[in-house]
Amino acid sequence: EGLVTFQKVEQDNRPNKKVYELTEAGRGACLNALMSGEARHRLRSEFIFILAYAPFLPRWRVKELLDQRLADTNETLKDLDRRETEEALQEGQKFCIGFGRAMMEAQRDYILNHGATLLKSCPEDVEMLVQA
């Protein structure tokens, strides 16, 4: 539709890549979509869904899930640190990085402050559940 162009770029010691760029018409279409699109924020998380059933899971499994989420969150925070050091960030990009950081820090802090209480609600093993 003439909204995007791309160029194949050959690289040494790396796979070739395609670089996409919006055309003038593409920038206009993108701006129109940004002006008319809804800005809802949705949270759909398998992590949260599974933890809703934590009292039915063995404690080791819930701890495993919490530990993995903390590790993932810390990796995301490191990535945000890296992105913040990039030059020529626009104010919108800086805002989004800061917003993401606030969400990740809140997630990390919540798990650290409330994870032990959740773990206490979990049985030691599944056998207890099967017998109940």
Distance CA 66, CA 70 (A): 6
Distance CA 74, CA 76 (A): 5
pLDDT at 126: 67
Distance CA 51, CA 47 (A): 6
Tokens of 69: 């989420």
Cβ distance 65 to 50 under 8 Å? Answer: yes
Summarised one tens digit per residue, pLDDT across range 21-73 is 999 999 999 999 888 878 888 888 999 999 999 999 999 999 999 999 999 99
Summarised one tens digit per residue, pLDDT across range 75-105 is 999 999 999 888 889 999 999 999 999 999 9
Domain boundaries, the chain: 4-36, 46-131
Q: What is residue 105's three-state secondary structure?
A: helix
Q: Would you place residue 122 in the very low, low, confident or very high pLDDT band (cuts 50, 70, 90)? A: very high
Alpha-carbon Rg for the chain in angstroms:
22
Q: Kindly state the percentage of the chain with pLDDT values over 70.
A: 95
